[in-house]
Amino acid sequence: MNRRERQEPLELKYFRLLEGRMHLSPEEKRQYTNAQKGFEGEMTFDRWIEQNLSTDHLLIKGLLLEHKGELFQIDTLLIFSWQIYLFNVKNHTGDYYINGEKWHFISGAEIKSPFLQLQRSDFLLRQLLRKLGTNAPIEPSLVFIHPEFILYNAPPQLPIIFSGQLNRFKEKLNGKPSKIEQKHERLAERLISSHLEDSPHTRWPDYDYQQLKKGVTCTKCAAFMSDNERKWICAGCGHEEDNETAILRSAKEYQFLFPDRKMTTNVISEWCGINGSKKKIRRVLSKHFKHLSQGKGSYYV
């Protein structure tokens, strides 16, 4: 049973909305790529769980929790009647190796150890669960979801699940009877209610309204779309979107990027790159947002 849908990380959403509208530095592009790749890996693991696990369980996706002032991220949590599984999901590709406790690219460059990250999440989750009144056993694992990931010198005792081991892991989980009871439901609800929406460590590019390119961007390739009367057509990939969908999406993007600016017909017309008649902008805003008047001006919320 799925108890929490995975949300797009805030960092990734900012990058996705800004990608086509401003220049990203090489470092920002790497940050964007890494965030996108990580989210895709987590979604892949979500689908695997939903398609393969038949025994009774609770699935919680993407928690940001805090215990005694320390924040920690949980990619995936599986609650069975007999065990809690904590997963940190990695979507790495290529060749890596371990030397002692240090992890490296095959080129020799050192990377941050995902095992140390897992240990920290495991420790803080155990502390938090004790605070919530449960001593349920936890089994932490690193999941390397991509089939083209290779790790050399990995000690067999490390809690790692490689892509090629998922079928055996499925058989292990499905082979044990589990019955979710009210106490498990309550625990899941308390963990979900403890989730923090914003992390102070989230980073995204600096931007302002004037510097951003205006127009409707494509959801498929981030190129700009052309206004073709009743629909919008992407100049990059040919993707089409009807007027209302494209304008509404763009208005919501504006709201997200500029929560402190008023949303008016003129502003959204400029944001969408529409010259001339603003009737279709006004029609969409009036249908989907609340219209407010203030003095001589009016805006939507």
Query: Once rounded to an integer, what is the mean pLDDT over residues 27-44?
Result: 96
Which among 295, 256, 300 has a CA at the least distance from the CA of 282? Answer: 300
Task: Name the domain boundary from 194, 217, 242.
Answer: 194
Task: Name the domain boundary from 171, 194, 217.
Answer: 194
**Would 238 be classed as within a structural domain?**
yes
- Residue 250, pLDDT > 80, answer yes
Same domain, 133 and 234: no
Q: What is the pLDDT of residue 236?
A: 86
Same domain, 190 and 274: no
Which among 288, 292, 267 has a CA at the least distance from the CA of 278? Answer: 267
Same domain, 256 and 175: no
Amino acid at 108: G
- Residue 95, pLDDT > 80, answer yes
Task: List the Cα angle 250/254/258 in 5-degree steps.
Answer: 175
Same domain, 129 and 242: no
The SS3 of residue 53 is coil
Domain range enclosing 34:
2-194
Whole-number percent of the chain with pLDDT over 90? 80
Same domain, 269 and 170: no
Same domain, 35 and 177: yes
**Would 208 be classed as within a structural domain?**
no
Q: What is the pLDDT of residue 279?
A: 87
Out of 107-111, 198-202, 206-210, 261-265, pick the least confident.
198-202
Same domain, 175 and 238: no
How long is the chain?
301
**Would 155 be classed as within a structural domain?**
yes
Q: How many domains does the chain have?
A: 2
- List Cβ<8 Å contacts ≥24 apart for 244-252: 244/284, 244/287, 246/216, 246/272, 247/216, 247/272, 247/280, 247/281, 247/284, 248/284, 248/288, 249/216, 249/219, 250/216, 250/217, 251/284, 251/285, 251/288, 251/289, 251/300
Q: What Rg, from alpha-carbon coordinates, does the chain have?
A: 23
Same domain, 37 and 185: yes
- Residue 296, pLDDT > 70, answer no
- Residue 276, pLDDT > 90, answer no
Query: The domain that contains 257 carries what CATH number?
Result: 1.10.10
User: Residue 159's CB: how many other CB atoms inside 10 A?
Assistant: 16
**Would 201 be classed as within a structural domain?**
no
- Alpha carbon distance 168, 159 (integer Å): 14
Strands 149-152 and 94-99: parallel
pLDDT in tens, 142-184: 999 999 999 999 999 999 999 999 999 999 999 999 999 999 9
Q: What is the pLDDT of residue 201?
A: 76
Contacts of 62 (CB under 8 A, 6+ apart): 4, 6, 7, 9, 42, 74, 75, 76
Query: Once rounded to an integer, what is the mean pLDDT over residues 271-283?
Result: 87
- Alpha carbon distance 247, 272 (integer Å): 7
Task: List the Cα angle 240/244/250 in 5-degree steps.
Answer: 80
Same domain, 126 and 245: no
Q: What is the pLDDT of residue 297?
A: 75
Same domain, 72 and 7: yes
- Alpha carbon distance 61, 195 (integer Å): 11
User: Residue 279's CB: how many other CB atoms inside 10 A?
Assistant: 9
Task: Name the domain boundary from 178, 194, 210.
Answer: 194
Going across the sheet that includes 110-111, the strands are 110-111, 102-105, 94-99, 149-152
Same domain, 145 and 274: no
**Would 215 be classed as within a structural domain?**
no
pTM exceeds 0.95 for this model: no
Q: What is the pLDDT of residue 96?
A: 97
Contacts of 256 (CB under 8 A, 6+ apart): 13, 17
Same domain, 45 and 166: yes
- Alpha carbon distance 171, 188 (integer Å): 24
pLDDT band at 1 (very low <50, low <70, confident <90, very high): low
